[in-house]
Chains A and B, each alone.
Chain A
């Protein structure tokens, strides 16, 4: 049986398996950020005037805003002038058929386990693939269109459904929300757009796969999902990036709108490059995600499995505006090496009989630091609002940290809020029990971790739950003696 130190070294040395670089000809904007950068992007994307103006307002907000200081880690200095804000594979903008796709690109996604050919894709999953700044392929688009479902890249949505984009863009995360959201508003390059018409239950999982490839670029995608009355959609995003010594910035924005009786389930498996064991390199993942239950009886559910990035800063939130609406947040966050995660959620109870449920599982190993930060806010009109929060931390080794910062604010005397949090380590007796049944310590830890995270993993669509489980085991295997 390996001793603690060996084991801890072992986790620290675990290689990141998606760290390769694709050699492909790119169309890249010059490094730097000013108004002309924004005009360049907008022009490249052939955008209407209103969108350019909105971007410019975002840019102004970005210049006004300061980097946040409240998070539980020192904010790294980010030189926004050293980033290229646009990078797209050369040749065609969008591939009509797979034959036109650069074979190198095809090979990349095969390697990542995201085959672009519909015959090869996971059954029942439609994928929009974003390579650096640009969506390169959306599968099953036509099939979905038969039901009136719009699933396309953000760029296409701007061209083909401007009325929907204009109506909802920035309605949940305004361009002035925070510095990263403002930056995104100014320079976002692409992303996914989903519209589910009234009463339609989307028959397959919709998914976007993000890949950062080019050096010195940032990724600034934007996702907008609108579920019209009585509709349902389950959406999943995944992501990877090459191993590099410098840090790359990912500042995405996701907006979800659930109208009356609609339900949106949004799942993330985040596996950006986490940096090496000394903490060199890795993605700065500063993401703003927020949904609104606009009508009565709506539901928004966030599930996230966060294993990558050198810094994760994200708080997927729900505004529970409609009466009887429901918000959920399920999260597993793993930090090891020098990784930092400051993540959690905000549940704003505005309407009557609103419900929210928060399950957060943090796992810290190596020199990692994991913070749960959550806000449950009950407004004066949110009669009979209910919240339940369970927030657990697991520490592996004595060099890491686990932190819990829940905020509960209630202005209604009929509300019920329950928050529970625990911190513990993997029980030696648990491992011993499994050893005694013939399971080695590495597998035992994997089993225990997966059991610990089960409540969250169960929320993932089945195809991805298996992937996420594997990812967790790989990330932490053999971590305790």
Chain B
């Protein structure tokens, strides 16, 4: 579904991704872990097409097509979803009108007929229940005055409504208390299927106890320095990131020595 090859990217002339390789297939859950500043969120931003993130080398293929050439909305319409680390508050845009608009445009893109108002309502109710999202919040302005947990739950509610093929969760667990974390994870688990895939970006192993990944990758200094299965996450929880940093630095020194 997603193939990332030797991806390099920079922000304000500073290189933040230094050659990422990653393959994600339908039905898989990949966790990307790493210390602060390792490039985790930058990877999410590059995939979603955020301005100011410039790809300098490499390619990203999503569903057989070059992802990097298309506008953020086209990526979304093709089925890529980013759950933001810091969801925007947009006063004056109602949550529901926003979702209606998004679904209408996504469906138009896929040559599907517009969703009947009734059908939309039914779906909205169903998904609200699925992710335990307060109906009151649905009718308010987009994220305006929402607590941190409510914002994150709204991201998962949108995920449920838009039914993407690839969902990237950018530190969705940060700032969540244990109950909110459980609700969010339950929602994600219910949405998992063999047709979609998840990339879960997180700093802590905690979330992965709820959403069990098939693969775990460790990002450090703009590169994936180690990949493994969920056991790797356990190991990281135990030992922290320092041993990997050491390892990475050692590797770099050796590489330099061989040149």
A–B direct touch in complex (beta carbons closer than 8 A): no
**A contact residues vs B (CB 8 Å cutoff):** none
